[in-house]
Amino acid sequence: MAATAVLVIGVGVQAVGGRGSAGAYVAPPSAEPVADPAAPGWRWESYGTVKVQVPDSWADSVYSGLWTCGDRFRPDGSTRTPMVGRPWRGPVQTIACLSVPRLAERIPHLWFDDSDAKPGITRFDHGWATEVRVVAGVPLAVFSNDAAMRRRILDSAKRMDGTDPNGCSVARPAVLGDGQRPTGPGLAAIGEVKSIRVCVYSYQLPGNPSVFQAGLQISGDTARQLGDALRAAPAGVGPVMSSSNCEQPRSRDDLLLTVAGENGDQAVVVRYATCRSNGTDDGTTLRRLTTDTLVPLSKVLYAEIPVLPILRDLAGR
């Protein structure tokens, strides 16, 4: 039986996680303890108003109905790991796929907010099934051939009140509003960077409220290097994206970084998917995006999706 699916033809910010030098998924280090720590070998993933634990080996991605066509391999030929996906909100092209991938193409996953998911269990061949629960108003769909794993993931799901396990506000902060700027002394005044909290929110439109997408803590050398790159970027705004790579507001996400230094903290707004106002802002200096600032974020946040469109523009500059 065939099902209608959608082909992703753009890229958006959706997820947290990273990839090691050999292409394997590497869970990012936690910069500070959380009040509700995940079980050993597991980590919290959050979206909207819900948090749920998944194995550390599960990578992050976006999804659409295209997953039923099967896509077991990355562009470099390596095999994808099980995935955690947020819904793709960008432009799509309709194609026909099977109702479930062929057996050799199946990869376990957790999908957040699948609008087509109905509570209950849908069984397929060879022990594979999709189990769906709605927690805090968010559908959670786990596809796997391990019933105990499905139950453990779904049983861990909890409503988030106020903040996610990484300390991100579930509500989109006012500082991400158009024309708003962070307060504080600026990145130059906080000394050596110790950790960076990354919070991702969809762009707010009339009649379409912002949704919290993901949260993450970065520490160690990765945080120090990213902090140095943020401070070293040239002053100004940009780059201006080519029209073919410019994100529509409905598929745009904005990032709020909280950079913790030895002398204090500083909020930094990162916009990467607008047509003309891309860059970083620490409230003191507007700086252009560079490969040194955006590539580390793309590796940490976008483990299983193609290169961000803006990186294609930056590569040609």
Task: Give the model's confidence band at 74: pLDDT under 50 very low, under 70 low, under 90 confident, else very high.
Answer: low
Per the prediction, the chain carries an average pLDDT of 82
In a domain, 168, yes or no: no
Range of the domain at 23: 2-159
Co-location of 109 and 240 in the same domain:
no
pLDDT digits (tens, 9 = 90+) for 177-234: 888 999 999 999 999 999 999 999 988 777 778 999 999 899 999 999 999 999 999 9
Which of 159, 184, 206 marks a domain boundary? 159
Co-location of 180 and 143 in the same domain:
no
pLDDT digits (tens, 9 = 90+) for 162-188: 999 999 999 999 999 888 999 999 999
Domain count, the chain: 2
Co-location of 124 and 187 in the same domain:
no
Q: Model pTM greater than 0.75?
A: yes
In a domain, 79, yes or no: yes
Co-location of 221 and 296 in the same domain:
yes
Pairing of strands 158-159, 50-55: antiparallel
Q: What is the mean pLDDT of residues 265-288?
A: 90
Q: What pLDDT does 259 receive?
A: 97
List of residues 6+ apart from 309 with CB closer than 8 A: 10, 11, 241, 244, 245, 246, 247, 273
pLDDT digits (tens, 9 = 90+) for 26-55: 334 444 545 689 999 999 999 999 999 999
Q: What pLDDT does 23 receive?
A: 37
In a domain, 164, yes or no: no
Q: What pLDDT does 244 receive?
A: 59
In a domain, 166, yes or no: no
Co-location of 196 and 59 in the same domain:
no
Contact 16, 300 (CB under 8 A): yes
Co-location of 152 and 186 in the same domain:
no
* DSSP string covering 214-274: EEEEEEHHHHHHHHHHHHHSPBS--PPPPGGGPPPGGG-EEEEEEEEETTEEEEEEEE-SS
In a domain, 203, yes or no: yes
Q: What is the mean pLDDT of residues 129-154?
A: 97
